[in-house]
Amino acid sequence: MARNTLSRSLHDLGLAAWFGGTLANAVALNPASGQADSKESSGRVANAGWDAWTPVNAAAIGSHLVGSVGLLLANRSRLATQEGVATMAMVKTGVTVAALGATAYARMMGQKVSEEIDVPVESATQPSGRTPSETASAQQQLSVLQWGIPALTGLLILVSAFAGEQQRPDEVRQGIRNRFS
C-alpha cells in the first residue's frame, strides 16, 4: 500500500482550516463586531473580517477537495472490496456537498449584508431595530449558518476519523472477509 501523504495533508489541513476558521468567526468575529464604535460601523467591521477570510476559506476548501479526490483514487480498490468503505465514502460525500452548499449560501447572504454600507446592526449576525429588512433577513440566515457550517465540517472530521480507522490492517482484513463471505 503506497503512502498518500500529500493527499492526506491537503485533505486534513484544508478541512481543519475550513472548520476552524468558520468556528472562530462564529465565536469571535461576529460577536466582536458588535463592539465597534457605533451600530453603523459594526457591519463594516464584520464585513472586513469576512472579506479577508473568504479567499483563505476558498483555498482551504479547494485543498480539502483536491486531497479528498486523491484519497478516493488511492483507496478505490478498498471501496470495491472492503465492506463499509463505499458507504462511508457516500456519507462523507453527502456531508461534503451539504457543507459546500451551506458555505456557498452563507457567502451569498454575506454579500447581501456586505453590499449595505454603514447599516445599523447589533453585530454581524444580529440586526438592530433600524436594520433594513433585506439585510436583517440575510443576517438571521447567517446566524444559523455560522453554526451549521462548523457542525457540518466537524461531522466531516468525525467521518474522516472513522475512515482512518477503517484502514487499520485488522479492519481491512475483516471488511474484505465480510464482503466475500
SS3 125: coil
Sign of CA dihedral 11, 14, 18, 19: positive
Radius of gyration of the chain (CA): 20
Higher pLDDT, 65 or 39: 65
- 128: which DSSP letter? -
Predicted TM-score (pTM) of this structure = 0.90
Closest CA to 115 of 58, 59, 50, 37: 50
Q: How confident is the model at residue 43 (pLDDT cuts 50, 70, 90)?
A: confident
For 68-125, what is each residue's pLDDT tens digit? 999 999 999 999 999 999 999 999 999 999 999 999 999 999 888 888 777 888 888 8
For 131-148, what is each residue's pLDDT tens digit? 989 989 999 999 999 999
**Residue 20 predicted with pLDDT over 90:** yes
